[in-house]
Structure 1
Amino acid sequence: MKELRLGIIQLATEIGQVDKNFETLMEKVRAVAKQGADVVVLPETWNTGFMTGPELHALADESGQRAQALLGELAQSEHVNIFGGSVAVKEGDTIYNRTYVYNRKGELLSTYDKMHGFSPAKENEYFTGGNSIHNFTLDGVLCSSATCYDIRFPELIRKSALQGIELFFLPAQWPLLRLHHWQILNQARAIENQMFFCSVNGCGTIGKLPMAGHSMVVDPWGEVLLECDETPQTHIVTIDLDIVDHIRSKINVFRDRKPNCY
């Protein structure tokens, strides 16, 4: 049996309060690691909160140095894999919504820049989108990720699934007013790609806009193994990766695809 214990950290990130957000994150990661997590999973833009505007240039992490130092140190000291959600990162005059992934030795395994900026919130005007997927292995499990609004683009996630991904992560800052979309999209992406889908959302508020929370872990059948409420919380969820191969052999959608037709 190939099992993995996911440590879910749902945070109410405070907008612009970078020092406080770092302190909160450090405390939560250490606590979840001590509960036996194999992989600690964080939400989107946990350093600054989800924000747009000129103030981002003052608050974004210069080349991601501060976030990388903290995540690497925590991964090594707690001997835990860390899927680092995402942070606002500044490279010169350009800002990215960037994911960092670390193994138990504190080594940086992979990075991903959010591809699709949420245009209704003008994210695409302040963040530069990435142009490539990423794959990485955690304790022998082939993984990938995207970020928040990316979930609405099934082609992106299918591209990773076609490379044999078993576990997909999605950090987010998704609002409560579209909670129904969040729940359905998480289940749909898990079912259609026959993989585990682990999505960690923010909670609290962004200005006056409530975030949905409801971080989810969904299995390849679409069964919800965990769904949080709308408050800050942590959980450990154990997933059995053996069912991925079982499902893919039973209903082999990848074999039965006809990409020449569509």
Structure 2
Amino acid sequence: MPEPLRVALDQGTGRSGDTDSALTRLRESARAAAAEGATLLVTPEMSLTGYNIGGRIRELAEPADGPLFDAVARIATDAGVAVVYGFAELVDGRVHNAVRLVDAKGVSRALYRKTHLFGDLDRNLFDPGEELVVQADLDGHRLGFIVCYDVEFPEIVRAHAMAGTTLLIVPTALMAPTTSVATLLVPARAMENQIHLAYVNRCDAEGDLDYVGLSTLVGPDGADLLRAGSTEELLVGDVDPTAVEAARAEPFYLRDRRTDLYGR
């Protein structure tokens, strides 16, 4: 059984269209997370570029191994903490809403492209990803990655649980008035799959969107381990792998599924 994983959730304000400023803020957050003993820092959706910035997304998009990756790798290495960050990935002329894990040695460990696009805002800017379950092992913990609207579909979270994910990372840009996603749906997703879930949001305005904060780390019983309000916060807490084992002692939802009645 691995040791608990100390995770930092970086709920903050965005730096819309200003990647240099976003990297400066990320560097500060990484150092603060490391000072709190965190092994992993998670930031919101599209944290390096901004989200609701229209056509500027394409201008700021770059390949996965571009300058932004190099900069984040240096930040992670200098701070000694793994970093999950969001950016616009350019692939053969297509732009993806992507999230990436870089470990404390500056090595890319996972790259996920948002599969469920949210309304015209997403569809006018991004191409959907086609890989449903992306995972990485970090210090013995099986991490999975999805983005924002993805979590509102039970199928993708269940697919992660079935694939062995024990901590699901969900960078998001949740806007008003849909606070119930953060307060009701996210805890339910963690509980029904008996996994930890880290949901990390912004807490500012961007264009006509007001981001509601409410970032959270939820345990496999659906209870909040960490919960932010509506202002900037760096939340730090532990993901204890024994909690998953305890939650699944009885009932164990994955075991008790009636696949003979409703398929996979």
Residues 106-158 of structure 1: per-residue CA shift (max 9 Å, x gap):
21111100101111x43122101111120111110011010000011110111
Aligned equivalents of 2:58 and 2:208: distance in 1? 23
- How far apart are 1:28 and its partner, in Å? 1.4
Q: Does 1:26 align with 2:48?
A: no
Aligned equivalents of 2:191 and 2:214: distance in 1? 19
Structure 2 match to 1:129:
128
SS state of the match for residue 73, structure 1? Answer: helix
Structure 2 match to 1:180:
180
Structure 2 match to 1:206:
206
- How far apart are 1:229 and its partner, in Å? 1.0
Structure 1 match to 2:105:
105
Partner letter of residue 168 of structure 2? F
Aligned equivalents of 2:5 and 2:64: distance in 1? 31
Structure 2 match to 1:9:
10
Aligned equivalents of 2:148 and 2:122: distance in 1? 12
Structure 1 match to 2:68:
67
Aligned equivalents of 1:214 and 1:149: distance in 2? 15
For structure 1, which runs of at least 5 residues remain unmatched after alignment? none
- How far apart are 1:25 and its partner, in Å? 1.5
SS state of the match for residue 255, structure 1? Answer: coil
Residues 180-213 of structure 1: per-residue CA shift (max 9 Å, x gap):
2221111011001001111100110011321011
SS state of the match for residue 256, structure 1? Answer: coil
Aligned equivalents of 2:229 and 2:53: distance in 1? 26
Q: Does 1:257 align with 2:257?
A: yes
Give the RMSD, CA atoms, in angstroms. 1.6
Aligned equivalents of 1:180 and 1:255: distance in 2? 29
Residues 52-82 of structure 1: per-residue CA shift (max 9 Å, x gap):
5332221223445122112222222222222
Q: Is the 8 A contact 1:154 1:189 kept in 2?
A: yes
Q: Is the 8 A contact 1:176 1:213 kept in 2?
A: no
Q: Is the 8 A contact 1:12 1:232 kept in 2?
A: yes
Partner letter of residue 252 of structure 2? N
Aligned equivalents of 1:26 and 1:79: distance in 2? 11
Aligned equivalents of 1:83 and 1:59: distance in 2? 18
SS state of the match for residue 31, structure 2? Answer: helix
Aligned equivalents of 1:103 and 1:18: distance in 2? 20
- How far apart are 1:163 and its partner, in Å? 1.5
SS state of the match for residue 129, structure 2? Answer: coil
- How far apart are 1:257 and its partner, in Å? 0.7
1:100–1:185: structure 2 CA closer, same or farther, 3 Å change rule? same
Partner letter of residue 131 of structure 1? E
1:92–1:228: structure 2 CA closer, same or farther, 3 Å change rule? same
Structure 2 match to 1:42:
43
SS state of the match for residue 176, structure 1? Answer: coil
SS state of the match for residue 157, structure 2? Answer: helix
Partner letter of residue 129 of structure 2? G
Partner letter of residue 77 of structure 1? D
For structure 2, which runs of at least 5 residues remain unmatched after alignment? none
Aligned equivalents of 2:112 and 2:54: distance in 1? 22
**Across the two proteins, how many residue pairs are aligned to each other?**
260
SS state of the match for residue 234, structure 1? Answer: strand
Aligned equivalents of 2:231 and 2:71: distance in 1? 25
Structure 2 match to 1:144:
144
1:63–1:142: structure 2 CA closer, same or farther, 3 Å change rule? closer
SS state of the match for residue 151, structure 1? Answer: helix
Q: Is the 8 A contact 2:191 2:220 kept in 1?
A: yes
